[in-house]
Amino acid sequence: MKARVYVMLKNGVLDPQGEAVRHALGSLGFDGVQGVRQGKVIELDLADGTTEATVTEMCEKLLANTVIESYRVEMG
């Protein structure tokens, strides 16, 4: 069984990496990009029967800094 966890900075939290990407895209001639938010995707290979609640607990304890990041879990 696989799970994907999508982690992004919460709205209102500055994203210096996203801003660097936006600036670099502008330097390459992509002037239409007004903002970039950068995040991460974590893929987990799980034992059969692992619940979404268990993955959520993993996020809360390690995979996401819930003070400044939000996350979304996809099981499947």
Backbone angles phi, psi at 44, to 5 degrees: -115, 130
Nearest to 34 by CA among 11, 50, 18, 16: 18
The CATH architecture that domain 2-75 belongs to is 2-Layer Sandwich (3.30)
CB 68 within 8 A of CB 8: no
Which stretches of 1-76 are DSSP H helices? 16-27, 52-58
Q: Tell me which of 53 and 76 has the higher pLDDT.
A: 53
How much is the pLDDT for 27?
A: 97
The residues, any chain, with a CB within 8 Å of residue 23's CB and separated by 6 or more, are none
- Convert the pLDDT of each residue in 28-60 to its tens digit: 999 999 999 999 999 999 999 999 999 999 999
